[in-house]
Structure 1
Amino acid sequence: MSLASSQAEKVDIEEFIDRQKVSAFQWVILGLCFLIVAADGFDTAAAGFVAPAVAKDWGLTRLALGPLLSSALIGSVLGALISGPLADRIGRKRVLAVSVLVFGVFTLACAKADSLHVLTFLRLVSGIGLGAAMPNATTMVSEYMPKKHRALLVNVMFCGFTFGASAGGFAAAALIPAFGWESVFVVGGVVPVLLSFVLFAWLPESVRFMVANSWSAEKINLVLGRISGKVLVEQHFTIDEPVNQDERSPVALILSKQFRSGSLLLWVTYFMGLLVYYLLTNWLPTLMKDGGMSLQQASLITALFPLGGGLGAIVCGILMDRVNAHRVVALTYVLAGVFICCVGHSVGNTLLVGLLTFLAGSCMAGAQISMPVLAVAFYPTNGRASGVAWMLGIGRIGGIVGAFAGAVMLQAGFAIDTILQAMAVPVFVAAAALLVKNQLGKRRIDFDSIAQEPRPESN
């Protein structure tokens, strides 16, 4: 029966999207969210170039730069925790567009900062905007993509971070000598402001959110028509999942008995992963230099760590769309831990260390980028933005811990092989948490299927 044959027929939104090819309309959504993630990468890379220039201009010590470098990360934690529940209440599009606008405006304002305290505050607020945008971009893409390609396309979106980081590094290297560190904030602010206007104009609301919140059939048909390329006149829509009819808040939902264990395990996994990723990103040059390499060699080796992130994410995405996604990501974490340990035992062989660092970074970034896909699949529509946002927010706390943990271990005089062996432990914990979550999910499915079987009638 065709979609237009009966207005009484209920159209399952996910089934409808799964039957269609990925349309130009959906590619536009993916492209816009790719640019949002790229803004995060640009900001992260550019900040590393800006900090030394600010210190030189204002006569600051390295210790004084600590709050400046961590303020945006702290802001992103706050933004993620706040924005998820808000997006589950008022919609993904509004939160996304406003978040990008806030990030852009306050990044522009950084160019006019005249003191360290002012600059640190502006970076904090811009971080809130960016932290609010990331999880909602993830949710938006996942809710518009067919299931058979969802993991791959969400991971492609996150490759925007690598693209943005490269652009941020090149832009900062070119702009700061010619125009000063302020120019980096000008570029880093103008682009998100312009992007926010495009989001307001072109980005649709999540169609799953529209159905879950009983939007008009006319608006839903318009979006579905742009996906299918046909004019639709359906009146009844459904999503194949439980609806939050008891009016629980999104945060209460993700912490409810049904989702609590899975939420905690997702948080542990993402926290541990970012702890290791940020520690190595921040301190690997120092570790390599202490291991006997020149500064140039240490810089080149460190550059190899994030270089393979896009490759790792795409490989993970392809595999996750075909086999058990939890096992794919858990295995990727295990491989990352093994390669990190091997790096510590190979110092002295520059070529081998470079290869192992590239492989470790590919696995580490691939696993981290794939985590939002697992969160998206775990939560229902009315709590999905909150679930993804809280996982990302709590994970970024792990990034803060990792940056400080590296400083503590270096200060204590630990050798490079000891530190890298220690970093394998959180990675293995992340893998174990995912395997436990996968097993708990299987048990719940088995229990539900048994509970739904008809009971034999008693004589």
Structure 2
Amino acid sequence: MVTTDNPTTRGGRPAPRAGSRPVLATLLLASMLTTMAGAIIAPSLPAMEKHFSSVDNAAFLVRLVLTIPALAIAIGAPFVGTLVDRVGRKPVLAFSVGLFGIAGGSGLVLDDLYAILAGRLLLGVSVAGIMTATTTLVTDYYPGESRSRVLGLQAGFMGFGGVAFLSFGGVLADMNWRGPFAIYLVALPLTLLVLRYVTEPPAVAAGRGADGRPAGARMPSLAFGIYALVLASQVMFYTIPSQLPFYLEDIGGIGASGAGLAIALMSLANALVGLNFGRIHKRFGVRPVAVATFTLLALGFAAIGSSSHVALVLVGLVLVGSGIGMLIPNLNTWLASRTPAAIRGRVLSGVTSCLFLGQFLSPVLSQPATGRLGIDGIYLAAAGLGIAVAVVLLLTSAGRKDPADAPADAPGTGPAAPAAAHPAPDAAAQR
């Protein structure tokens, strides 16, 4: 194990070690918050619309309450990524988690629809900060194979968090439309954990110039291809929450609760695959996993769109969830292996931005096409896009090796400091 000097806190206690269990738990819990950005308040929308029925365009504005955080995340992530690199990972994460609790919970007390919308915009900015800072810290703290494992754990925790928070939100919404807003308050005590346990990686400061800007670091050209893959995958994926309830009702008379359970099944597959991503990456590497990801998406959407049998639709949802479970941890692993630590926040923020931009654009692009193609045609078109991406990835990966497939970061592309500057990951994180 690599040994390093262990800094102390102001009270004289040893500072938590990067990669230790408290640090890992804090980052995973913070990552779970991001699943609460929008859909957690979806069950409240009908009652909210009645409450604000006297407001002009209430129906439209209430729906914006659900979707506007995604747009704020997509727009705000690149700016937040720059702050993560210049100001630091820890201050951005601590501020973002605190803002998440305040902005998200504001719906408990605000009685003006426009003020609630303003709170949702701030919520989106906070989610951009949380996603970018937590992912950047994981890639800073964990090199090589441990990185892919922890990124998979992050995806798994986000998947399980989505199932738990969305279910609890529905229960609270039955009591009162403001109820789901209370769940956002869990971020406030988590802010204290961030301040206590998260430490700023020394490699980041070492990579900055005297003016605080990254010194001699350049964005890898691979980044733009990764961004395109994220955007395409989310445009495909979000046809499920936006269209599946209508599709299940058409083919099987399945109501809202049944559609919710079907989507929860997909989320469960997502989480389980994410938890095992470290093993998958260790065996196959980033390029083969990317091909497999889009192949699974294509097969899943083909199963959903080509059959009127609900059972086959459920199989398709499991396949789609399995592909999504590998998608983001794999692409983040790939991109982080090529990105110097000093600009990692800015580069990884592009993944966050494209992730939510795809979610925002998906219904905008798919809804007009349902009139011509039908919902089944939309899913078959998504399958066609998935197989086309898989073929392109397969053709471009033939005979090529990537630093992310190596057991550790390639020289000059991983963490910018020498190995001794990063404490070894906790033994529990390596198992």
Bin of the TM-score, shorter chain as denominator length: 0.7 to 0.9
- Structure 1 alignment gaps of length 5 or more: 8-22, 214-244, 450-459
Change beyond 3 A, Cα 1:431–1:101: farther
Distance 1:27 1:438, change over 3 A: farther
For the residue of structure 2 that corresponds to 1:291, the secondary structure is helix
Tell me if 1:304 matches 2:265.
Answer: yes
Instruction: Considering Cα pairs closer than 8 Å and 6+ residues apart, tell me whether 1 or 2 has the greater RCO.
Output: 2
Q: What does 1:198-347 align with in structure 2 at a 5 Å threshold?
A: 198-213=193-208, 253-255=217-219, 259=220, 261-295=221-255, 296-347=257-308
The match for 1:116 among 107, 113, 117 is 113
Write the letter of the residue equivalent to 1:342: A
Alpha-carbon distance in structure 1 between the residues aligned to 2:117 and 2:318:
33
Q: Which amino acid aligns with 2:261?
A: L
Residue 129 (structure 2) pairs with residue 132 (structure 1): yes
1:165 and 2:162 aligned? yes
- Give the distance between the partners of 1:329 and 1:442, measured in 2 at CA: 13
Residue 47 of structure 1 pairs with residue 47 of structure 2:
no
Q: Whole-Å Cα distance in 1 between the matches of residues 218 and 143 of structure 2?
A: 24
What's the counterpart of residue 20 of structure 1? none
Deviation of the 1:211 alpha carbon: 3.9
**Taking structure 1 as reference, are residues 341 and 390 closer, same or farther at Cα in structure 2, changes over 3 Å only?**
same
Q: Is the 8 A contact 1:266 1:434 kept in 2?
A: no
Query: For 1:171-213, what per-residue CA distance to the aligned partner results, in whole angstroms no more than 9, with x for missing partners?
Result: 22222233x222321231x211221122112211124324435
The aligned residue for residue 100 of structure 1 is 97
Counterpart contact for 2:252–2:310, Cα < 8 Å: no
Matches within 5 A, 1:39-78: 39-59=33-53, 62-78=59-75
Deviations 1:258-311 (A, max 9, x none): x2x311101100101111122212221112222343215444333322221012
Structure 1 residues 369-380: aligned runs within 5 Å? 369-380=329-340
Task: State whether structure 2 residue 180 is matched by structure 1 residue 181.
Answer: no
Which amino acid letter does the alignment assign opposite residue 129 of structure 2? A
Aligned pair 1:84/2:44, yes or no?
A: no
How far the C-alpha of 1:146 sits from its partner, in A, is: 4.1
Aligned-residue offset at 1:323 = 2.8
The separation in 2 between residues aligned to 1:298 and 1:202, in whole angstroms, is 40
For the Cα contact (< 8 Å) 1:71–1:121, is it kept in 2?
A: no
Identity, % of aligned positions: 21
Whether the aligned pair in 2 keeps the contact of 1:106 and 1:122 (CA below 8 Å) is: yes
Residue by residue, what CA displacement relative to the aligned partner does 1:19-44 show, whole Å, maximum 9, x if unpaired? xxxx8952222211111111111344
1:383 equivalent in structure 2: 343
Q: 2:234, 2:358 within 8 Å by CA — same for their partners in 1?
A: yes
Q: Is the CA contact 1:162–1:310 (under 8 Å) kept in the aligned structure 2?
A: yes
Displacement of 1:57: 2.3
Whole-angstrom CA distance in 2 between matches of 1:161 and 1:89? 27
SS of the residue corresponding to residue 205 of structure 1 reads coil
Change (3 A) 1:54 1:351: same
- How far apart, CA to CA, are the structure 1 residues paired with 2:215 and 2:346? 6
SS at match of 2:283: coil
138, 141, 149: which one aligns with 2:138: 141
Could you give the per-residue CA deviations for residues 68-95 of structure 1, whole angstroms, max 9, x where no partner exists? 2221111112331111111111211111
Query: What is the TM-score of this pair, normalised by structure 2?
Result: 0.81
Q: Which amino acid aligns with 2:29?
A: L
1:337–1:424 contact (8 Å) kept in structure 2: yes
Q: CA deviation at 1:374?
A: 1.8
How far has the Cα of 1:170 moved from its partner? 2.6
Once the two structures are TM-superposed, the CA of residue 247 in structure 1 deviates from its matched residue by 7.8
Larger radius of gyration: 1
**Map of 2:316 onto structure 1:** 356
Partner residue in 2 for 1:455: none
Which secondary structure does the structure 2 equivalent of 1:88 belong to?
Answer: helix
Q: Which amino acid aligns with 1:29?
A: V
Greater Cα offset, 123-132 or 41-50: 41-50
Determine which of 183, 186, 194 is the counterpart of 1:191: 186
Amino acid aligned to 2:183: V
| Amino acid across the alignment from 1:418 | G
Q: 1:329 & 1:443 partners in 2: Cα distance?
A: 12
Q: 1:266 to 1:25 in 2, by over 3 A?
A: closer
The whole-number CA distance in structure 1 between the counterparts of 2:263 and 2:168 is 19
Contact preservation (8 Å) 2:289, 2:326:
no
- For 2:214 and 2:252, locate their aligned partners in 1 and report how far apart those are by CA, in whole Å: 51
TM-score, normalised by the number of residues in structure 1? 0.76
User: 1:148: Cα distance to partner?
Assistant: 2.3
Unaligned runs of 5+ in 2: 6-16, 405-409, 411-431
Structure 2 counterpart of 1:182, one-letter code: R
1:427 aligns with 2:404: no
Count of residues in correspondence between the two structures: 390
Q: Residues 339 and 3 (structure 1 numbering): CA distance in 2 closer, same or farther, change over 3 Å?
A: closer
